Amino acid sequence: MLKIKEFIKEVGINNAAHGFRDRLIRPTDFVALIHSEVSEILEEFRKGKTPTETYYREDGKPEGIPSELADVVIRAFDMADYYGIDLEAAILEKHEFNKTRPYKHGKEF
């Protein structure tokens, strides 16, 4: 089974092979790309798509909320690879911390 660290490395290799590492990438570029994928999730909901619905373009590209959510994760993995962030460790650490937080983290919503 592929681990998160291994998959992050694969995402970086694939993006480099497809020309996305041909220039210096600014942190704001990564954030903007992640944000754009999140916006595409919103657009799928606005089209009336269900959270689990996947549909395909004529060229076979998967579309829908699952696909756009995957793009968010892939963009985050690319950023982690580019900057050498141990995202797997950060996710585990943050999850363990979140277990100790109060209900709704002490907020109304």
CATH number at residue 19: 1.10.287.1080
pLDDT at 109: 79
Structure confidence by residue, pLDDT tens digits, 7-53: 999 999 999 999 999 999 999 999 999 999 999 999 999 999 999 99
Within-domain flag for 63 = yes
- Asked whether residue 109 is assigned to any structural domain, the reply reads no
| Euclidean distance between CA atoms 89 and 5, whole angstroms | 9
Number of domains, the chain: 1
Q: Is residue 107 part of a domain?
A: no
Report yes or no: 65 and 53 within 8 Å, Cβ to Cβ. Answer: yes
Amino acid at 1: M
What average pLDDT is seen over the chain? 95
Q: Range of 55's domain?
A: 4-102
In the structure encoding, which two tokens stand for residue 1, read together? 């089974």
Non-local CB neighbours of 65 within 8 Å, separated by 6+ positions = 41, 44, 45, 49, 50, 51, 52, 53
